[in-house]
Amino acid sequence: MKAQASYIALSYWDVAASALFLALAAVLTLVLRLGLFRSLLLVALRMVAQLLAIGFVLKMIFQASSGLVTLAAALVMSGFAAREVINRQQRTLAGLWRYGVGPLAMLFTGAIALVYAMTLLLQPEPWYAPRYALPLFGMILGNSMNGVSLGLNAITRTIVRDRLAIEARLLLGMTRWRAFRPFAADALRTGMTPIMNAMAASGVISLPGMMTGQILAGVPPVEAVKYQLLIMFLIAGVVGLGTMVAVFATIARLTDHRHRLRPDRLREPD
Amino acid sequence: MLKVDSLTRPPLGPVSFKLPAGAIGIVTGPSGSGKSLLARAIVDLDPNTGEVSWRGRARLKTPAPQWRRWIAYVPAETGWWADRIADHFPPDIDAARLNELLHAVNLPRDALSWPVSRASTGERQRLAFLRALIRDPEMMILDEPTSALDAETRKRVEDVILAERRAGRTFLIITHDPAQAARLGDIFWRMENGRLSPAPDASSLVEIPREGA
């Protein structure tokens, strides 16, 4: 009750006590023989270990407040996101291209948006202050990763599934870009639907997690909303641009200068 | 004249032949001998080597979309990208001419308003032919253009092809039907194991059944 302008610090006991209802649910699964107890226990412990670890890592990074350490952390995050984008593809481009197109589209657009926001909008001191840069980069990457991998999956699937239709358009004398137009539009829509749904729902159906967190931490709601808007705009922009770059680069790679399909440049699913 | 010189797209070729403008060339041969690969290679739909020219214009000096507007290839099996048949035809279409053509190939006038899923295989075959013809290519390569049609409708399509040739259009037609070859063809070739050889006339095209076929 005392802490009105700032956040209420939690003790470890508070945290442990909050697990009461989960423990109750876990015991019930045991009584009802649902066979979920072990995995429920494991994911809960895993979450505790992961979050405590990242808490301490972030603490160290924030204390260091060094450009190099921040960059290293951003690179590690990029690596995980890139791996995720590659692993989520059913079919990927053959050769080194599979490491290039999706991850580069995501990282390039994400990094530009991050630097833009840090240097021109938030302007912390120093501009790369990890307390701002890393959470922001994480939110951008997490969403962009989704959009890019959904878009990539859709466009590579269409090249296999709608091959006759695409070739029919090429045969009628359309350029490869025109021939792909309806299929590229579908892939972009697929990639951007989650973020568009999130924008449409935010504030009405769901309170965005970041905004909720800031409000709990004592930030006035309207200030929290401004932060949330800034971040949603950045995220949506990066999702849109990253997905477009990824989809059009994939089309460029899977066609050639003679405006023909090159499915031979696609690696079949394992 | 369509001039094809050492066209190669493994397992096809090298293939060389000449087809005079305004003529109907016929290609027959067993399934899997490379007839469709030949058609795809001529319109540059697969990577290939060799030289092809149409009316003295070299393929490699022509942007591929332009080349395919001169030489339209209608595959035996083609794709449809929109829900309605009409969306596969250009918006600035000559409606009178299209109505005439629809009637000529025995399709109802309202066929354009159908959803694609409503058209039968034979109807789609004719609609795919019209969708290419209405764009007014100088030459057409037709792969089994009447394979799904009854005798009466097949005759109607053949009549359209003959009328178009009289109007100056060139055709290369891939067919399994020796009688159709005789009705339509001016020049004849036979494809065997990726090699094309001239045939003196339609009667020499009678299918020799392959072992196990």
Q: pLDDT truncated to tens, each residue of chain B (213 aa)?
A: 999 999 999 999 799 999 999 999 999 998 889 999 999 999 999 999 999 999 999 999 999 999 999 999 999 999 999 999 999 999 888 889 999 999 999 999 899 999 999 999 999 999 999 999 999 999 999 999 999 999 999 999 999 999 999 999 999 999 988 899 999 999 999 999 999 999 877 666 665 544 443
Sequence spans of domains, chain B = 2-201
Domain limits, chain A: 1-64, 66-267
Name every chain A residue with its beta carbon within 8 A of the beta carbon of B81.
Answer: 162, 165-166, 168-169, 182-183
Q: What is the pTM of this model?
A: 0.86
pLDDT tens by residue, A21-71:
999 999 999 999 888 899 999 999 999 999 999 999 999 999 988 999 999
Question: How many other C-beta atoms are found inside a 10 Å radius of the C-beta of residue A243?
Answer: 31
Interface test with A, best of B68, B125, B133 (most A CBs within 10 A): B68
Q: What is the CA radius of gyration of chain A?
A: 23
Query: Which residues in chain A are contacts of B46 at CB distance < 8 A?
Result: 260
CA distances from A207 to A4, A144, A183, B92, B155 (A): 21, 20, 34, 50, 68
Residue of B nearest to A175 (CA): B65
How many contacts, defined by CB atoms under 8 Å, are there between A and B? 67
Question: Is B78 within 8 Å of A168 when comparing Cβ atoms?
Answer: yes
A188 with A243: CB under 8 angstroms? yes
In the sheet that holds B12-19, the strands lie side by side as B12-19, B2-9, B49-54, B57-58
> What would the two tokens of residue A179 be?
């021939």
- Rg (alpha carbons) of chain B, rounded to whole number: 17
B55 Cα distance to chain centroid: 18
- Cβ contact, residue pair A165, B79, below 8 Å: yes
In B, minimum Cα distance to A259 occurs at: B64
- The residue in chain B having the minimum alpha-carbon distance to the alpha carbon of residue A163 is B79
* Domain B2-201 = CATH 3.40.50.1980: no
Cβ contact A169–B77 (<8 Å):
no
Q: Which of B74, B81, B131 is opposite residue A182, by nearest beta carbon?
A: B81
